[in-house]
């Protein structure tokens, strides 16, 4: 017997990617339901060689289903995730709604797989923010070796992190720049995104940081170690898919760059591409469609004791969202549900 799986928000970028990854990884699916809001009702989506028609989220009965992968915003999740959980269907939520709830585990399977065991308190597991997910995959094996004191991270986040509207705005603005009569003012973003970078993701907070930056701080502490100090600057860049991060790490103990490179090469979910030559590193265009978190530019930071710099790139629709959610489902299945 396999699993009865529900994908909520199946017509969106992340929902469609969840369906692709469930098929690619041959997740043991006995039956699958794809749900959408009423405005998308009846839309067809692909699952392997099958074509599925979306059902109405508002009237769906989660009773008898095993796992629901949620790829909708916090408002819809607030309504429907508790219904799924109460019906005995475990929710794996991609929104930010439950990430900071102490009774809901926040899981990256390469980092804290044992945390899935805490799902039973609310029948809900949270998926971290896209920029956090790839960073903690890189940090955890290094933390295990030399204990991280502080992380300074600057992100270069693609427009797909803001959904289809962000992708469309970059596409339309890029075309309009070459056509002076076709002006495309910023709508999804606060400033022009084509041929520009915007140091602003999510809302501003009282201390001057943005919510995206706050998420990286709080989630890293919850997933790896509350003692780690994190400061982040999150920037939107004119890239369609793939988030990049420049990460500076200060350790309690000395960690040589060569040993760090070896540790990362052996770590789950990581691919090290680090040659000190032209093109000997990974850029976001090259990571699209891949499962791995790519690490490049590993080098000592001589300005502090026990410091390293590295460059981290990953497909944000995969490891930052859909892939991590499916990996959580796999971990839950292996450790708890044990079907398939």
Distance CA(321)–CA(200), nearest Å, equals 20
95 is in an annotated binding site: no
For domain 3-127+321-336, give the CATH number. Answer: 3.40.50.720
Instruction: Classify residue 181 as exposed, middle or buried by CB count within 10 Å of its CB (0-12, 13-18, 19+).
Output: exposed
236 is in an annotated binding site: yes
Residues of the chain within CATH 3.30.360.10 domain(s) are: 131-158+197-314
Residues of the chain within CATH 3.40.50.720 domain(s) are: 3-127+321-336
Q: Between 323-332 and 13-24, two packed helices, what is the crossing angle to 10 degrees?
A: 50
pLDDT tens digits, residue range 184-224?
A: 999 999 999 999 999 999 999 999 999 999 999 999 999 99
161 is in an annotated binding site: yes
The pLDDT assigned to 340 comes to: 66
Task: Please check whether the domain covering 131-158+197-314 is classified as CATH 3.30.360.10.
Answer: yes
The rounded mean pLDDT for the chain is 96
Is a pLDDT exceeding 80 seen at residue 300? Answer: yes
Strands 67-70 and 90-93 turn out to be: parallel
Segment 25-46 shows an average pLDDT of 93
Where do runs of H (alpha helix) occur along the chain?
A: 13-24, 74-86, 130-146, 164-177, 211-223, 257-266, 284-287, 323-332
Residue 266: partners with Cβ closer than 8 Å, 6 or more residues away: 141
pLDDT tens digits, residue range 88-135?
A: 999 999 999 999 999 999 999 999 999 999 999 999 999 999 999 999
pLDDT tens digits, residue range 222-275?
A: 999 999 999 999 999 999 999 999 999 999 999 999 999 999 999 999 999 999
Is a pLDDT exceeding 90 seen at residue 182? Answer: no
The pLDDT assigned to 149 comes to: 98
123 is in an annotated binding site: no
Catalytic positions, written as ranges? 130, 243
99 is in an annotated binding site: yes
């Amino acid at each position: 017997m396999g699993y009865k799986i529900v994908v909520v928000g199946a017509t969106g970028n992340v929902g469609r990617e969840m369906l692709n990854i469930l098929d690619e990884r041959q997740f043991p699916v006995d039956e699958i339901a794809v749900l959408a809001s009423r405005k998308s009702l009846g839309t067809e989506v692909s699952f392997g060689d099958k074509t599925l028609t979306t059902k109405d989220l508002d009237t769906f009965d989660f009773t008898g289903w095993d796992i629901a992968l949620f790829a909708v915003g916090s408002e819809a999740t607030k309504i429907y995730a508790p219904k799924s959980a109460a019906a005995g269907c475990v929710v794996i939520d991609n929104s930010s709604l439950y990430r900071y709830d102490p009774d809901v585990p926040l899981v990256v399977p390469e980092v804290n797989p044992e945390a899935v065991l805490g799902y039973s308190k609310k029948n809900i597991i949270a998926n971290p923010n896209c920029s956090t997910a790839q960073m903690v995959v890189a940090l955890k094996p290094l933390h295990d070796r030399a204990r991280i004191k502080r992380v300074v991270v600057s992100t270069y986040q693609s427009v797909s992190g803001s959904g289809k509207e962000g992708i469309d705005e970059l596409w339309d603005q890029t075309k309009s720049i070459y056509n002076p009569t076709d002006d495309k003012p910023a709508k999804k973003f606060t400033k022009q995104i084509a041929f520009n970078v915007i140091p602003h993701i999510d809302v501003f907070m009282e201390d001057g940081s943005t919510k995206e930056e706050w998420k990286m701080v709080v989630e890293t502490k919850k997933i790896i170690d509350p003692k780690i100090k994190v400061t982040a600057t999150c920037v939107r860049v004119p890239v369609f898919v793939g988030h990049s991060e420049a990460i500076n790490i200060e350790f309690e103990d000395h960690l040589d760059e060569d040993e760090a490179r070896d540790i990362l090469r052996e770590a789950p979910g990581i691919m090290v591409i680090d040659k000190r030559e032209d093109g000997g590193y990974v850029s976001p265009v090259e990571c699209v469609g891949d499962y791995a978190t790519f690490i490049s530019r590993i080098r000592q930071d001589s300005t502090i004791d026990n410091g390293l710099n590295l460059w981290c790139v990953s497909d944000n629709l995969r490891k930052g969202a859909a892939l991590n959610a499916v990996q959580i489902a796999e971990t839950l299945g292996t450790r708890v549900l044990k079907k398939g």
